[in-house]
Structure 1
Amino acid sequence: MTVRVLVADDDALLRAGLAVVIGTDPGLALVGEAADGLDAVRLTQEHEPDVVLMDVRMPGVDGIEATRRIVASGSPARVLVLTTFPDDEYVARALRAGASGFLLKRVAPERLLEAVRTVARGEALLDPAVTRAVIARSLDSAPRPAGHDGARAAVLAALTEREVEVLALVGEGLSNREIAATLTLAESTVQTHVKRILAKVGARDRAQAVVVAYRSGLVNIS
């Protein structure tokens, strides 16, 4: 099945470059280009892409607000944030807004294509080191809700022992294949565990499950 991609960036040259890269993969199709967040929201509604490559720093409605609106609309599109720096505070905010992952703009073309395909499958490709930096910033800046410890215990109590193990490895940034090798399981079994975990913890996708893993104390930030 062809993965439909929308590119949102205020830099016309970068949009053109991304369009060229996407065009080299017969499994991907560029369905639109947006120069700002408002356009990104409108074009997502019109073209129903599977993945939105979203720059966070755009004039008017920025990528964070655009991500929030896309997620709130109920669109199944996955937002993959484009950033210049791995610990950019904008990335942490975009993740809290519902982004499914993040990617450095200087990434190699083949890495970009793989990331788009991975996110389209709901398996957000997050580099472990970058994930730690972004999640740490996200948790430090987010208010600690009342009853936090009880809520954390409830999340873990809802999972089986194996699901807790899988969630911890998801939080470390491991792919399904890597988790399968670590736990000596079939990759299809890991995929089933991840789907059940997402449903139980109320996470929209794998990126949000990473946040749950950190908040639950399954993964250390340091």
Structure 2
Amino acid sequence: MRIALVDDDAFVRGLLVSTLGQEPGVEVVWEAGSGEESLEKFAVEPVELILIDLQMPGMGGTATIQAFQKLDNPPMMIVVSTLTTTDKVQAAFRAGARGYFMKEDNPALIADCLGRALQGELVFSSKCSMVVVEQLKGASTVAPSKMSGESVWEGVLTDRELEIVGLLADSLETKEIARRLGTSIETVKKQVQSLMAKLGVNNRAGAVAAAFRAGLLR
């Protein structure tokens, strides 16, 4: 797996290089201190995946992600940032990011998720997931949308499905979700399948992230 790092903080880049460089199958090909520099380096030496900060001088992280998405063969973009506000997280995913982590997260955790991201799964740190879940819990109405790479929804999430998304993010098993909601395991299974179909995902891990990226927030 050939990856690159984009962050104006040399210390953060060094930490990620030292950690990710030790992971089997991971090669840190280059680093860049700005969005502009990353686009120049990618044109010379393409990589599969880029870890990028959001706050940088000049072209910010979200704008850089958008610029990469316009390329014929864009790399997978994973955000590593100190920003956890919902508008920033939402903007990053709408721009084309496929993952979001905090700079305080263990670099080993980030490394462990890279392979899953390349396989098409949306990946989050636990802190970012908490931000998403709190917003989803407060959402009462949603509108269908068509995002890049996603199909048009056949329906929207019900209040119960939104509640289940939050419980899935807490890593609860089907039996525990059924107990908390006072319903049967079979009913929960059907509701989980329904919400995943509406979000265009095929696994629970991607359900919360997909819901967020699809614009389910108020």
The alignment's TM-score, normalised by the length of structure 1, stands at 0.64
User: How far apart, in 1, do the equivalents of 2:165 and 2:27 lie?
Assistant: 32
Q: Is the 8 A contact 2:153 2:199 kept in 1?
A: no
User: Who is 1:84 aligned against?
Assistant: 82
Mapping for residues 9-20 of structure 1, pairs under 5 Å: 9-20=7-18
Please list every run of 5 or more consecutive structure 1 residues that lacks an aligned counterpart in the other structure.
141-147, 159-164, 185-193, 200-204
Equivalence for 2:181:
none
Q: Which moved more, 1:49-58 or 1:129-138?
A: 129-138
Which of these residues, 20, 34, 37, is aligned with residue 36 of structure 1?
Answer: 34
CA contact (8 A) 2:36 2:59 kept: yes
The Cα of 1:92 is off from its aligned counterpart by 2.6
Distance 2:65 2:20 in 1: 21
Whole-angstrom CA distance in 1 between matches of 2:109 and 2:101? 9
Aligned equivalents of 2:166 and 2:40: distance in 1?
32
Match of 2:212 in 1: 211
4+ runs of 1 displaced by more than 6 Å? 135-138, 194-197, 205-208
CA deviations on 1:65-92 (whole Å, 9 max, x unpaired) are 0001111224341111011143364333
Secondary structure, counterpart of 2:56 in structure 1:
coil
Partner of 1:109: 107
Q: Give 5+ residue unaligned stretches, structure 2.
A: 147-151, 178-184, 187-195
Correspondence for 1:98: 96
Q: What is the one-letter code of the residue matched to 2:88?
A: Y
Which of 125, 131, 147 is the matching residue for 2:123? 125
Q: Residue type matched to 2:36 in 1?
A: L
Look up the match of 1:187: none
Greater per-residue helix proportion: 1
Counterpart of 1:116, as a letter, is: L
CA deviation after TM superposition for structure 1 residue 33, in Å? 0.6
Matched residue, 2:149: none
Deviation at 1:104, TM superposition (A): 0.8
CA distance in 1, matches of 2:39, 2:9: 17
Query: Which secondary structure state, in structure 2, belongs to the residue aligned with residue 155 of structure 1?
Result: coil
Distance change >3 Å, CA 22–CA 126, structure 1 → 2: same
- Conservation of the 8 A alpha-carbon contact between 2:5 and 2:13: yes
Q: How does 1:154-173 map to 2 (within 5 A)?
A: 155-156=153-154, 172-173=168-169
How much is the aligned-residue C-alpha RMSD, in angstroms?
Answer: 4.4
Native 8 Å contact 1:55 1:81 kept in 2: yes
Q: Is the 8 A contact 1:89 1:137 kept in 2?
A: no
User: What secondary structure sits across from 1:53 in the alignment?
Assistant: strand
Counterpart contact for 2:4–2:29, Cα < 8 Å: yes
SS in 2 for 1:6: strand
Could you state the TM-score of these two structures normalised by the residue count of structure 2?
Answer: 0.65
Q: Is the 8 A contact 2:20 2:108 kept in 1?
A: no
Shift in Å, 1:45: 3.2
* Distance verdict in 2 for CA 1:213–1:171, change over 3 Å: farther
Report the Cα distance in structure 1 between the residues aligned to 2:166 and 2:76, rounded to whole angstroms: 18
- The SS at the match of 2:123 is coil
